Amino acid sequence: MSQMNEGTTKDMNKIEDTVDNLGTEKKEAILQNFDTFTDYLTQKVHVGKKLGLNEEQLAAATKKVASYLAKNEEPRNREEKVLHELWKVSSEEEKEVLSHLILKLVA
């Protein structure tokens, strides 16, 4: 495995660990309201940018989080329901585009 792929895999594992380790109460608070959810994502994107992540890396992280949420969490509001349904019917290529659009929405 190349050094870049190895780093990307580690980054993706960190994202999954972070989402997994959010306390139930905090996760509920973040996901309950769409504005709170997008504010949370905005903060994480700013942190990623400060760490030097480029748009492709941020989009990859966004895709990983979206995949996790689609698989493990039920939508809590209409906006999340729309994103959830779009994610379910999207091809991998469309998920890439949707990840970039989500990133654009919160950045």
Rounded-to-integer distance, Cα 6 and Cα 55, Å: 18
Tokens 């870049």 correspond to 4
Under-50 pLDDT residues of the chain: 1-4
The CATH number that domain 6-106 falls under is 1.10.760.20
What was the pLDDT predicted at 2? Answer: 46
DSSP 75: -
For the entire predicted model, the pTM comes to 0.78
Q: Are 107 and 45 in contact (CB under 8 A)?
A: yes
- The full DSSP string for 13-61 is HHHHHHHHHS-HHHHHHHHHSHHHHHHHHHHHHHHHHHTT--HHHHHHH
Rounded-to-integer distance, Cα 67 and Cα 16, Å: 10
What was the pLDDT predicted at 12? Answer: 60
